[in-house]
Structure 1
Amino acid sequence: MKKILFIGVALLIAACSPQTETTETPAALKTGAEVLIEQDFAILAGKNVGIITNHTATVGDRHIADIMHESDKVNVVALFGPEHGIRGDAPAGDKIEDGTDAATGLPAYSLYGQINKPTPEMLEGIDVLIFDIQDIGPRFYTYISTMGKGMEAAAENGLTFVVLDRPNPLGGNLVEGQIREEGFESFVGYFPIPVTHGLTVGELAMMIKGEAMLPGLENLDLQVVEMENWDRSKLWPEYNLAWNPPSPNIPDFETALFYPGTCFFEGLSATEGRGTYEPFLQVGAPWADGEAIAAELNAKNLPGVTFEAVTFVPEIIPSMSTRPKHLGAEVKGVKHIVTDMYAVRPVEIGMHVVHAFYHNAPEAEKATFFNEARFGRLAGTNEIHEMFKAGATAEEVIASWSDEISVYDTMKKKYHLY
């Protein structure tokens, strides 16, 4: 997929509050993949390698799989792809078949379909399983679930599991949302962590093993190739990196920033904006009064964001959305406008937006407003939608997770690499 330079970098950085503005240009960030290359693939010498990867695993303008396949220092024998596929061109939710990677000629196994964990047959002859995928920070973004499945497969088959670390676009300090409860395990909630976990994928892998979040990992040989010059207090735009959309509906950093909150609309009768070119930035419903909802939300003066009323018509967009909610209907709602990226707390904002739509919904719509099973999977609990239905405010919902978040935040610091 062609890289898209994030045009709004300067605007977003300019929107930072004076207390958080960066006055020095950070040293050039090096991803784990770049460090591995600089080390001449030393940890892979004499090993047969499989790579769990997708289109985001680039060094410069080249894919890590292509670089490693061409190197005489590495013997890559198979590729494994998550949701959206190895080259990132499959729409959200589409099942992907096994095949051959056109660029390398290597076997390309799908981990998003009937099988989501590498099988012993797929791993035959492999010594090291590498994970190199750009995550965006929330629990329900499925790439980290694919990583967890890969860790399980590596442990079960006696393989080394290597994570090539990459930045968390939301930084390394943002922690929000309820911790997923037992009984709510799914591919959008594979680990008992908050909605925004505040870790890189390498740190998360270490925590998954160290806290026994998955069974059978006690003896897993887990290695993390660390980044250089990443500062967990800084967000993605600070590094002036090109934004390579990690999935078709996350086209830019601004969308990724609000996604942990607006993704909850996937569990509502209202739409999260799929079928438009601004999904997860704009949300709405055919019955909504966008002007009234925007006014209610703006009156709250939520940090880092304002809202404007919008009207849109969801349509089929190849490679982005083939089955959008309210297809062809006029939808009214609100669009999120970032005013200070460092002040944004996306899950808290999401709770305010969900409450505003529910509060403003006609009585006839409230009965079906929550898809309780889907919303519960995303939230990791039934408590949130039950509180809203019982009349709770967004502030009360947000307060409900404060104690467990404090415990988690202390625990996760044991696994900080940066």
Structure 2
Amino acid sequence: MFFQLVKNTLFLAVLGLVSCQAQTNSEKQTHNTERQVSPSSTLMVGANQTQAYFNKLKGKRIGIVGNQTSVIFKENGAYTHLVDSLLVHNFNIVRVFSPEHGFRGKADAGEQVKNGMDTQTGLPIISLYGKNKKPTPAQLEGIDLLIFDIQDVGTRFYTYISTLHYVLEAAAENNIAVLVLDRPNPNGAYVDGPVLELQHKSFVGMHPIPVVHGMSIGEYAQMIIGQNWLEKGVKPELEVIPVKNYTRQDPYILPIKPSPNLPNAQAIKLYPSLCFFEGTQVNAGRGTALQFQVFGSPFLAKNYFDFSYTPKANEGAKNPKHMGQLCYGRNLSNSKIENKIQLDWLIEAYQNTADKSKFFNSFFTKLAGTAKLQSQIEAGLSPEAIRKTWKPALKAFKKMRANYLIYE
């Protein structure tokens, strides 16, 4: 192990864990407000444990890697953005770095985000999903410490962990320490899916891990370093502030949606299974109010599927797949979701599409991390037969993963 677990410290704040109430008229900026959540647990995220890390920030020039989820919760159900909280305590924040979807989490998936300036604080915001995904030496100039605080959802193709990789790598190359303020993984109770083959490495899959890895951001940061996955084996100075009173089996409902198209717990639970549709001709609910809770396509057999909808432009989906076209498929918004990747819907859609030769696109292999899954589906293998082929690599991954776990 190369990490140091922080000793338990007393802190009086109670974490709120359910959906945020509506923003008031005076709360026009996402990050510079107090917002309301309902307290329901004594679980305490890393950011809330200010007594564990505030002393580490004194005299440091700080960079924040964060977005709309980087908040400190309060006893009364309110929360404030980490940036605002640190500024109130007169810490020296030099600049802010934002991942995919931007600092406020409004940009579409895959939409390039530009650099800018925060209108409330005057801090420069550097996009790590624009011209460059890895912080440059110039962007890191004058920084002694990088704080990484972003809520993840526990899948390989959710790009916040790819941003984490590049932040760790750049920090090591520029002799900058990294402090990860950890948060729970809402899909942390299981490990599943094909393990990525390195020939299919991309920004939606950088390392040989399964689709669902069952790790927190802090645990995954330790794995990235410990497995020598950074360029030339560089190793930054890393410290993780773990979540208190948490096990990976604990259900965790995100109080703030982590990106525009994951609006609720059902979408987050379905995401590991339905995201595969992003590499096909099937729409996965973008352009509806049920993002990643429905799927459909104009090319699916309307006499087979019992649900239809028409995608329209909305927040997070300015030009959704099949916009304005009637799509046939399934509504899973009230379905009970098991802790596993569900292949039945993907196979069902493939088998009932008009032209199977046009069902998959090149992005599918990047999402799967292997060309085998598409071949298996085209060959007519059952979900059980496909899942069986994952077992050896999953067993090896779990053995390796055990070296980096913080939580039971």
TM-score (ref. length: structure 1): 0.84
Matched, 1:29 2:43: yes
- Secondary structure at the aligned position of 2:183 is classed as coil
What is the deviation of 1:4?
A: 7.4
Matched AA of 1:70: V
CA distance in structure 1 between the partners assigned to 2:44 and 2:72 by the alignment: 9
2:105 — aligned with what? 88
Q: 1:38 aligns with which of 17, 40, 51?
A: 51
Give me the whole-angstrom Cα distance separating, in 1, the residues matched to 2:220 and 2:396: 16
User: CA, structure 1 residues 55+217, in 2 after alignment: closer, same or farther (shift >3 Å)?
Assistant: farther
Match 2:219 to one of 203, 206, 210: 203
Map of 2:368 onto structure 1: 379
Q: CA deviation at 1:377?
A: 0.3
Is 1:323 matched with 2:312? no
What is the CA RMSD across the aligned residues, in angstroms?
1.9
SS in 1 for 2:211: coil
Q: 1:272 to 1:322 in 2, by over 3 A?
A: same
Which residue is 1:138 aligned to? Answer: 155
Report the Cα distance in structure 2 between the residues aligned to 1:337 and 1:126, rounded to whole angstroms. 45
The answer to whether residue 311 in structure 2 is matched with residue 314 in structure 1 is: yes
**Whole-Å Cα distance in 2 between the matches of residues 132 and 190 of structure 1?**
20
**Percent pairwise identity:** 38
Q: Do the aligned partners of 1:29 and 1:230 also contact (CA within 8 Å) in 2?
A: yes
Corresponding residue number in structure 1 for 2:274: 262
* CA deviation string 1:103-141 (max 9, x = no partner): 221111010012111111111110111110000110000
| Deviation of 1:215 (Å) | 2.6
1:387 partner amino acid: Q
Shift of 1:168: 0.3
Question: What secondary structure is seen at the aligned counterpart in 1 of 2:122?
Answer: coil
C-alpha contact 1:156 1:216 (8 A) present in aligned 2: no
1:284 offset after TM fit, Å? 0.9
**2:176 equivalent to 1:159:** yes
CA distance in 1, matches of 2:333, 2:88: 44
Alpha-carbon contact 1:34-1:59 (below 8 Å) kept: yes
1:214-238 Cα offsets, whole Å, 9 max, x none, are 234443111111111111111214x
User: What is the alpha-carbon distance in structure 1 between the residues aligned to residue 292 and residue 317 of structure 2?
Assistant: 13
Partner of 2:84 in structure 1? 66
- CA separation in 2, counterparts of 1:84 and 1:287? 30
More displaced stretch, 353-362 vs 136-145: 353-362
- The amino acid of 1:147's aligned partner reads L
Distance 1:217 1:27, change over 3 A: farther
Q: Could you tell me how far apart the structure 1 residues matched to 2:200 and 2:292 are? A: 23
Tell me if 1:56 matches 2:87.
no
Aligned mate of 2:207, from 185, 191, 195: 191
Encode CA deviations 1:20-57: one digit per residue, 9 max, x unaligned.
xxxxx99501111111x233611122111101100011
Alignment of 1:182-331 (within 5 A): 182-237=198-253, 243-289=255-301, 292-293=304-305, 309-317=306-314, 319-331=315-327
Distance 1:280 1:27, change over 3 A: closer
Cα distance in 2 between the residues matched to 1:409 and 1:338: 31
Within a 5 Å distance, the mapping from 1:96-111 to structure 2 comes to 96-111=113-128
Displacement, 1:278? 0.6
Which residue pairs with 2:3 in the alignment?
Answer: none
Q: Offset of 1:389 from its aligned partner?
A: 1.4
Cα shift at 1:91: 2.0
User: Measured at CA, do residues 406 and 40 of structure 1 come closer, stay the same or move farther in structure 2, by a change above 3 Å?
Assistant: closer
What is the SS of the residue equivalent to 2:212? coil
Paired AA for residue 316 in structure 1: A
Q: Residue 325 of structure 1: CA displacement?
A: 1.1
**Where does structure 1 lack aligned partners over 5 or more consecutive residues?**
8-24, 294-308
Inter-partner Cα distance in structure 2 for 1:82 and 1:337: 28
CA shift, 1:5, in A, is 1.3
- The structural deviation recorded for 1:184 is 1.1
SS at match of 2:324: coil
- TM-score (normalised: structure 2): 0.86
Secondary structure of the residue aligned to 1:400 is: helix
Residue 165 of structure 1 aligns with an amino acid whose one-letter code is D
Query: Are 1:47 and 1:127, in contact at CA under 8 Å, matched by a contact in 2?
Result: yes
1:368 corresponds in structure 2 to 358
Offset from partner CA, 1:322-358 (integer Å, 9 cap, x none): 11111111111002245555x332x2x1x21111111
Query: Are the structure 2 counterparts of residues 130 and 290 from structure 1 closer, same or farther at C-alpha, using a change threshold of 3 Å?
Result: farther
Instruction: Report what 2:405 is aligned to.
Output: 416
Match of 1:299 in 2: none
